[in-house]
Every structure is written in structure tokens, then in C-alpha cells.
Amino acid sequence: MVSGTLQPIDEAKSVMLSLIPYVLFLGIAMGLFLSWIYARKISKPILKISDATVKMQRMEPDARSGIHTDDELGQLSKNLDALYESLLKNINSLRDEMDKANRMERSKTEMMQSASHELKTPIAALSGMLEGMLDNVGVYKNRDRYLGECKKQVEKLTSLVGEILSASKADTCEDELSWEDVAIDELVDRALTDYAVSASEKQLHVMKELPRIVVTTDRSMLFRIITNLLSNAVRYTPRNGDVRIILSKECLLIENQCAPIPGEEFQKLFEPFYTRSYNRDKAESGTGLGLYIVKRNLERLSMKYKLEQTGRGLKFSICL
């Protein structure tokens, strides 16, 4: 048998009962504090993600949540940022395509307006001569002579239409590029052969430095570019003038002697149908499409170019 008094237990019981309200209050306070800390930890990244989505709705380029944690919210933030970056890339790509389409549409409209203006003059001349011959009036009674003039006008129209089609093809990019190794010196020599007679008739001094240079490009398109540049050089160089052709690994230079061109006219040289000559004979003044076609084709080949005036004339540089 063990006997003892219950007085210590009764005293401890009364003390514990007196402490219960304080312990309960302290427990509730600690619970509320820890809950607040936990809620802040959870809600802060959620609020950041929410703010980022609002910025994304406004298509702001710097809309990123920027949460780098290993939990589910961090993974959600990472996926959301990646999705927005992909969306921005697609939107920017669409904008570029729309701008390109708008530029092509404006270029096509300007080309059609310019082409209709250029075609109107020879068509009017041809129509006038034919009406005169049909009515048998004035000088048009000599039909044999003016039939020859009509044939010349038709040939001019054919040439002009061919130039317009070439310019239109350069604008619309219908042909696929055929990349291959091309010897630039061979292309220049081949193009020079086509204009040897014209250069000889004008007694031009053609100086060339053509080492063996091979680049990867579209052969036919680059040949058209060189042909147009040499055609302009031969046409606009005065009699007994100089034409220089220099080829290096970095660039191809075609320089011809000519009179200085005023600044406002110099800026228009790449515009379609622009010619400095007011002569309506296209055989003399050209169609004004040569440099325009050169520009569009060089842009398709992603080749940089530069046209500048020197002390003696014009110099066209093509970066290889």
C-alpha cells in the first residue's frame, strides 16, 4: 500500500487552469502570425504573376514575372514568361510581314502609276500616226515612211514592257534564288563583251582589274545587276571618257566619268522611271528602271551597295 496526499496535484491543477487563457491567447497570436507570413509568401508571387499578365495584356515588351523558384509557382512563372516571349516573336514576325506586304503594295502601285505614265506617250504617238494614215491627211499620206515609224514605236513599247516586267519580277520576288559558286571576273568579262561595240563607238577608255574571285550567289541575278551597271556606265559616259572596273575580295567597283549631279537629283536615281535626260527617246535617255532593278535584286541577294559621286563621276560599289 502506498499512501500520499493529493494537495500538490490540486495546486498544480489550479495553476494550469489559471494559465490556460494566456496559453490560448499566445497560441492564437502565434498561429495568426505564422499564417500571415505564409500568406505573404504565397500571395506575393501570385500578385507578381497577376501584375505581369496585366502588362502582357497591354503588350509591354518588358512584361515578365521574374519568379525563379523551384516550386509550382516558379514553374508557372517560367512557362508564362516563355509563352509571352514566343507570342512577342510571332507578333513581331507578323508585323514585319505586314510591313513588307505594305511596302510591296505601295511599290506595285507606284510602279503601275509610273508605267502607265511612261506607256502613254509612245501609245499616243503611235495612235496619232495611225489615225493620220487612216484619214490620209498631211504628211501621213506617205504611209510607207510612217509605217516604219510605227514599227519603231512598237519596238520601244516592247522594250519598255520588258523592262517593266523585269522590275515587277524584282519587286514580287517570284523566282527562287539558285545559290552556286560564281566567278565574278567571268561575269564581268561576259557583260563587257555585250557592250564592247558601244564602248568602241564612243571611244571609251575601259580600265579593268579583274583577279579571280569566286563567291556563292545567284549567277543569273548577279549577271543582270552587272549588265545594268555597265549599260549605264557606257550610256552616260561622254565620248573619250573613262570607265573603271575594279574587283577585289571585298567589293566590285564600277566607276564612270560623267558630269556632277545635283543633290536632289542624285537622291532620285534609284526611283523607277526617273531619268536625268528630258529626251523622250528611250534609246537615248534609258527607261529609268536600270538602277531600280539593280537595287531590288541586290536587296534580294542581301548584298550591300553604295552609289557615290567622285571628283570625276559616279562610283557604284557592291560588297561581296
23-50 pLDDT, tens digit each: 889 999 999 988 888 877 777 777 778 7
CA atoms of 163 and 79, how far apart (whole Å): 53
Q: Is 316 helix (H, G, I), strand (E, B) or coil?
A: strand
Q: What is the per-residue DSSP string for 223-251?
A: HHHHHHHHHHHHHHSPTT-EEEEEE-SSE
Over residues 174-193, the mean pLDDT reads 84
Over residues 73-89, the mean pLDDT reads 82
- Report the pLDDT value the prediction gives residue 37, as an integer from 0 to 100: 83
Side-chain half-sphere CA neighbours of 289 within 13 A: 23
CA atoms of 245 and 255, how far apart (whole Å): 6
Distance linking the first and last C-alpha atoms of the chain: 114
Over residues 130-145, the mean pLDDT reads 80
Q: Per-residue pLDDT for 190 more than 80? A: yes
Q: Is 309 helix (H, G, I), strand (E, B) or coil?
A: strand
CA atoms of 78 and 158, how far apart (whole Å): 62
Q: Is 36 exposed, middle or buried (0-12, 13-18, 19+ CB in 10 A)?
A: exposed
Over residues 196-204, the mean pLDDT reads 87
CA atoms of 45 and 75, how far apart (whole Å): 11
Is pTM beyond 0.95 here? Answer: no
Of 285 and 288, the structure prediction assigns the larger pLDDT to 288
- Report the pLDDT value the prediction gives residue 278, as an integer from 0 to 100: 43
CA atoms of 107 and 167, how far apart (whole Å): 10
Please list, in sequence order, all residues whose beta carbon lies within 8 angstroms of the beta carbon of residue 309, skipping any fewer than 6 positions away: 260, 261, 266, 315
Instruction: Catalogue the E-assigned strands of 65-204.
Output: 179-183
Q: How confident is the model at residue 173 (pLDDT cuts 50, 70, 90)?
A: low
Q: How confident is the model at residue 252 (pLDDT cuts 50, 70, 90)?
A: very high
Torsions phi, psi for 262 (to 5 deg): -60, 150
- Report the pLDDT value the prediction gives residue 304, as an integer from 0 to 100: 92
Q: Is 155 helix (H, G, I), strand (E, B) or coil?
A: helix
Over residues 227-245, the mean pLDDT reads 89
> What is the DSSP-derived secondary structure letter of residue 121?
H
| Residue 293, all three cell numbers | 532593278
- Calculate the average pLDDT of the chain: 80
Q: Please state which of the ranges 94-103, 136-145, 273-282, 305-314 shows the lowest mean pLDDT.
A: 273-282
CA atoms of 198 and 308, how far apart (whole Å): 24
If one counts every other C-beta atom within 10 angstroms of the C-beta of residue 116, the result is 10
| Residue 213, all three cell numbers | 574571285
What strands lie across the sheet with 251-257, from one edge to the other?
205-209, 242-247, 251-257, 313-319, 305-309
